[in-house]
Amino acid sequence: MRPRPAASAAVTPSASAAPTLQQQVAQLTSRMLRKKLFMVTYVSKVAPDKLAPLLPDHFAYMTELARKGVLFAAGPIMHENGAPTGNGMALFNVADAGEARRLAGQDPFYLHGLRDFDVKEWIFMEGSMTLTLNFAECTLGVS
């Protein structure tokens, strides 16, 4: 039998030490989108039915912002049962909060004193959607 070598008194750190939390987060987010958008939350000052007369103007305004490429997404906030709350949310693809505030302040609901709004910077990190473009039928599906 050969004698065992004496154990080393010094403990050397492993060459593959576990990554730090900061390194783990950096690795996990390295391929994420990181797109800066501005989230506008609209809070109704009236019952949802009081907004109805201005819906055509509101839709025309928001559709025009989407056509110009500054509105990424928008829509109503609903109660769990599907009933309207009168509140809404929009994501603006603009350079800064001031521009998002300016655009939100031109919404007909706000101009007529029916809604207030708040602007926050939002970073679009992850998510997915599927687009189906059917050339034969000239249709687009989103899921």
The predicted pLDDT at position 13 comes to 54
Q: What are the backbone dihedrals phi and psi of residue 90, each rounded to the nearest 5 degrees, phi first?
A: -140, 145
Q: Is the pLDDT of residue 92 over 70?
A: yes
Query: What is the pLDDT averaged over residues 38-67?
Result: 97
Q: How many other β-carbons are positioned within 10 Å of the β-carbon of residue 123?
A: 11
Query: What is the pLDDT averaged over residues 25-53?
Result: 95
The predicted pLDDT at position 17 comes to 87
Query: If you average pLDDT over every residue of the chain, what do you get?
Result: 91
Query: What is the pLDDT averaged over residues 121-130?
Result: 92
Please give the DSSP secondary-structure letter assigned to residue 71: E
pTM of the model: 0.78
User: Rounded distance, CA 91 to CA 32, Å?
Assistant: 18
Q: Dihedral through CA 40, CA 60, CA 130, CA 77, nearest 10? A: 40
The predicted pLDDT at position 129 comes to 85
The predicted pLDDT at position 137 comes to 87
Which of 29-33, 38-42, 73-77, 103-107 has the least mean pLDDT? 29-33
The predicted pLDDT at position 64 comes to 96
Q: Is the pLDDT of residue 14 over 60?
A: no
List, as own/partner pairs, every contact residues 68-73 make where C-beta atoms lie below 8 angstroms and the sequence separation is at least 24, other chains included.
69/93, 70/94, 70/99, 70/103, 71/103, 72/37
Band (117; pLDDT cuts 50, 70, 90): very high
